[in-house]
């Protein structure tokens, strides 16, 4: 009994080490520009913009030289360099562990690796990171990455429907990673409840390629998202075209929903380079920051 527990613990630790190693590897493919800047006025040292003086502006913010060359009183604004918090959520559902090819990483591994890589990049920009768990703690240095990896590997994140009850800051950047295969009407309200004009929200959809291409023929047993739930199809090829149409519609609906709600959306296919998806997420976040 003790030996079995020891073996299980060692295998779990090895899996977490693999997650962190992969995350560090793909994070190294994205250059980090330095301390994060939030594109808001604040007390930082970097110049942001000039604007007209308003009655409640402090006099110390007036740029007297610029004002002297104009018929207006001009304010010099600096960048707000306070750290932001990258808030990470990995779908804890059993469906994330489903794979149709043992040589491909699961959706859970892909999601967790990408989230950890984003966490590494955020910490290197002196931002903070947290995961959505019952006992979530804010991580302020890379020494806390082990705790994040443990939370993800143990599927400790709260269900999506419960996230709206957790405390969120307007400065948070929220990344939701899952397969999002449930009907959109069942999760749309939960997602919208997390979004606000001030908070950036990104949906990272991780899918097994066979969930899109449906290459199955003959008698096939499909595992369901719940444990011990499966369904046997005698002639899988007979439903292939109907399935492909429905999954295409579902993916298009999710993408359109994100676009109309001003939510960032990235789709990762398991087996494709993780580096490419990470770079896509970072590019979208940077573009949104510049708006």
pLDDT given for residue 211 in this prediction: 95
Give the C-alpha separation, 75 to 198, whole Å.
Answer: 23
| Those residues with Cβ within 8 angstroms of residue 173's Cβ, 6 or more apart along the chain or in another chain | 84, 85, 86, 87, 122, 199, 200, 202, 285
Q: Give 15-36+83-290's CATH code, choosing from 3.30.1380, 1.20.1260, 3.40.50, 3.30.420.
A: 3.40.50
CB 31 within 8 A of CB 124: no
Give the C-alpha separation, 45 to 214, whole Å.
Answer: 54
**pTM for the full predicted model:** 0.80
- pLDDT range class, residue 74, cuts 50, 70, 90: confident
Q: Are strands 200-207 and 173-178 parallel, antiparallel or unpaired?
A: parallel
Q: Which of 173, 168, 161 is nearest to 129 (CA)?
A: 173
Map out the domains of the chain as residue ranges: 15-36+83-290, 41-79
Tokens at 209, concatenated: 């390629």
pLDDT given for residue 168 in this prediction: 67
Q: What would the mean pLDDT of 69-75 be, rounded to a whole number?
A: 84
Give Cα separations from 169 to 33, 119, 127, 244, 278 (angstroms).
24, 17, 14, 39, 24
169-220 pLDDT, tens digit each: 666 899 999 999 999 998 999 999 888 777 889 999 999 999 999 999 999 8
Cα–chain-centroid distance for residue 172?
12
């Amino acid at each position: 009994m003790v030996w079995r527990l020891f073996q299980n613990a060692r295998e779990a630790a090895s899996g977490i080490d693999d997650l962190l190693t992969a995350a560090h590897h793909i994070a190294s493919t994205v250059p980090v520009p330095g301390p994060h800047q939030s594109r808001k006025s604040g007390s930082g040292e970097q110049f942001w913009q000039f604007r007209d003086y308003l009655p409640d502006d402090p006099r110390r913010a007036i740029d007297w030289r610029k004002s002297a060359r104009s018929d207006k009183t001009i304010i010099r604004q600096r960048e707000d360099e306070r750290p932001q918090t990258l808030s990470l959520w990995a779908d804890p559902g059993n469906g994330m562990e489903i794979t149709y090819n043992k040589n491909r990483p699961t959706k859970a591994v892909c999601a967790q690796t990408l989230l950890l890589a984003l966490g590494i990049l955020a910490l290197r920009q002196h931002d903070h990171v947290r995961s959505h768990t019952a006992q979530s703690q804010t991580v302020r240095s890379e020494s806390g990455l082990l705790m994040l990896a443990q939370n993800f590997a143990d599927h400790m994140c709260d269900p999506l429907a419960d996230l709206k009850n957790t405390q969120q800051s307007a400065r948070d950047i929220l990344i939701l990673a899952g397969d999002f295969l449930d009907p959109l009407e069942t999760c749309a309200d939960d997602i919208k409840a997390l979004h606000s004009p001030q908070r950036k929200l990104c949906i990272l959809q991780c899918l097994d390629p066979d969930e899109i291409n449906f290459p199955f023929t003959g008698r096939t047993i499909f595992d369901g998202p719940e444990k011990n739930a499966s369904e046997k199809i005698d002639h899988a090829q007979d439903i292939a075209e109907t399935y492909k149409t429905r999954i295409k519609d579902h993916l298009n609906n999710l993408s359109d929903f994100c676009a109309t709600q001003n939510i960032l959306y990235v789709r990762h296919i398991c087996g494709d380079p993780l580096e490419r998806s990470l770079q896509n997420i970072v590019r979208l976040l940077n573009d949104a920051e510049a708006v």
